[in-house]
């Protein structure tokens, strides 16, 4: 029997009230009051230039791929240690994916490796802020500027997290690249079941982003009274969520600070307890570089080997605790392996084999944390 699940969606308590309000208002399709309230919240709190809610982070990445203008023959540099959507969005546009290795210290893309992969055909670098911990953005943005490449931040896990650059300025993740994509899937800190958001930081893409969002039409301009009729002007799809989804998200955003402080308390409690143990088979705890903040999206351990990790996951499961591993490398995936022409990606493979995530959700109690750490210390004696 599962006593401690890996994740449990947290409700702030006002979700149904706002959904009811949306339903009773008679406007339940997209781009209504709640959609705009959520978008303005993000623009105000984080200084994102333009936000568009989407039905998933995958959708937001697909919008970013369309906006980036990549076409057949273009190359896009993507970490191999990521979720399928990070690469798939660009594959759908015909781009060739050039997979890059992770850093040694954390699963984020390694800027030194990126530099070796840039060619005249490189159009986009996609970075993933793994576990909400910032990639080395100064080095990445410097490369992008030098070679005229766009940067898309896959900020699926990175809500309310920051990066401090060499200039000493602390910037929210999602505000640094030309475009960024967030996820509100039920496993994230802030949720709407399925859900996501495109952030457009580069002014040049704003008008087209709205059109792509609204099925290739200029309907958003029509609703603002800027044109007197709307029609088909570009490519696009139905990327916007209904007001029902946005109303749910609004209830979460109101509780963002409470959610974040609870998750951080849980993360710190794990860290403080585990760092004092001498565990065999465990080779590391999460490393937060000095330029990054921790948004407590995830608590992971690095094990010595895939065998040690499997043993730990099975031992936890026998005690009713669900711990899970994460991504499988994309460069050696069934879908892409035959097209992959690069070398070995050793750090990526190590994270794929050895990383294990512990339960982390708002309702996790101190006694749950004691139980997880207790089983861990027994299992890794
Ligand atoms: C790094 C990353 N990118 C994109 C996604 C896709 O997010 P969504 O499920 O909202 O489409 C995920 C999913 O967890 C992810 O981890």
Residue 184 in tokens = 């509100």
> Element (H or E) spanning 360, and its range?
none
If you measure from the C-alpha of residue 167 to the centroid of ligand 1, how many angstroms do you get, rounded to a whole number?
A: 30
**Closest ligand 1 atom, residue 185 Cα:** 10
Residue 56 in tokens = 């998933």
CA distance 207 to 218: 9
| Predicted local distance difference test score (pLDDT) of residue 380 | 83
User: Residue 111: how many CB atoms within 10 A of its CB?
Assistant: 20
Considering the entire predicted model, what is its pTM? 0.98
Alpha-helix runs per DSSP H in 148-204? none
Q: Are 285 and 299 in contact (CB under 8 A)?
A: no
pLDDT tens by residue, the chain, 381 residues: 899 999 999 999 999 999 999 999 999 999 999 999 999 999 999 999 999 999 999 999 999 999 999 999 999 999 999 999 999 999 999 999 999 999 999 999 999 999 999 999 999 999 999 999 999 999 999 999 999 999 999 999 999 999 999 999 999 999 999 999 999 999 999 999 999 999 999 999 999 999 999 999 999 999 899 999 999 999 999 999 999 999 999 999 999 999 999 999 999 999 999 999 988 899 999 999 999 999 999 999 999 999 999 999 999 999 999 999 999 999 999 999 999 999 999 999 999 999 999 999 999 999 999 999 999 999 888
**Closest ligand 1 atom, residue 188 Cα:** 14
Q: Are 176 and 151 in contact (CB under 8 A)?
A: yes
Three-state secondary-structure class, residue 371:
helix
| Predicted local distance difference test score (pLDDT) of residue 364 | 98
Q: Are 79 and 103 in contact (CB under 8 A)?
A: no
CA distance 178 to 200: 7
Q: Are 182 and 174 in contact (CB under 8 A)?
A: yes
| Predicted local distance difference test score (pLDDT) of residue 279 | 87
CA distance 192 to 9: 9
Around 328, how many Cα atoms within 13 Å sit in the side-chain half-sphere? 6
Categorise residue 128: left if φ over 0, alpha if ψ from -120 to 50, beta otherwise: beta
**Ligand 1, CB within 6 Å, residue ranges:** 56-58, 82-83, 85-86, 128, 154, 156-157, 183, 185, 196
């Amino acid at each position: 029997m599962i006593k401690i699940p890996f994740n449990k969606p947290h409700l702030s308590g006002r979700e149904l009230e706002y959904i009811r309000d949306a339903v009773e208002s008679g406007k339940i399709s997209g781009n209504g009051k709640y959609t705009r309230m959520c978008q303005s919240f993000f623009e105000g709190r984080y200084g994102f230039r333009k936000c568009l809610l989407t039905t998933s982070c995958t959708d937001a990445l697909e919008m970013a791929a369309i906006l980036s203008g990549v076409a057949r023959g273009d190359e896009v540099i993507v970490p191999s240690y990521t979720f399928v959507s990070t690469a798939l969005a660009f594959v759908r546009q015909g781009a060739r994916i050039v997979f890059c290795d992770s850093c040694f210290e954390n699963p984020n893309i390694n800027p030194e490796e990126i530099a070796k992969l840039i060619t005249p055909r490189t159009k986009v670098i996609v970075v993933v802020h793994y576990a909400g911990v910032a990639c080395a953005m100064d080095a990445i943005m410097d490369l992008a500027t030098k070679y005229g490449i766009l940067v898309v931040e896959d900020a699926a896990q990175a809500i309310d997290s920051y990066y401090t650059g060499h200039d000493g300025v602390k910037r929210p993740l999602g505000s640094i690249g030309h475009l960024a994509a967030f996820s509100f899937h039920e496993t994230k800190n802030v949720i709407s079941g399925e859900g996501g958001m495109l952030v457009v930081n580069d002014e040049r893409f704003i008008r087209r982003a709205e059109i792509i969002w609204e099925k290739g039409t200029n309907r958003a301009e029509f609703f603002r009274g800027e044109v007197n009729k709307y029609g088909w002007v570009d490519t696009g799809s139905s990327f916007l969520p209904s007001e029902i989804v946005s109303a749910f998200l609004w209830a979460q955003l109101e509780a963002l600070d409470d959610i974040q402080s609870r998750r951080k308390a849980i993360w710190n409690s794990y860290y403080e307890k585990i760092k004092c143990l001498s565990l065999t088979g465990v080779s590391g705890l999460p490393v937060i570089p000095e330029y990054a903040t921790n948004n407590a999206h995830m608590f992971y351990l690095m094990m010595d080997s895939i065998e040690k990790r499997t043993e730990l996951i099975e031992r936890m499961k026998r005690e009713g605790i669900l711990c899970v591993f994460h991504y499988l490398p994309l460069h050696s995936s069934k879908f892409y392996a035959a097209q992959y022409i690069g070398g070995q990606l050793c750090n990526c493979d190590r994270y794929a084999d050895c990383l294990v995530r512990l339960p982390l959700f708002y309702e996790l109690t101190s006694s749950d944390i004691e139980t997880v750490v207790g089983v861990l210390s027994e299992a890794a004696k």
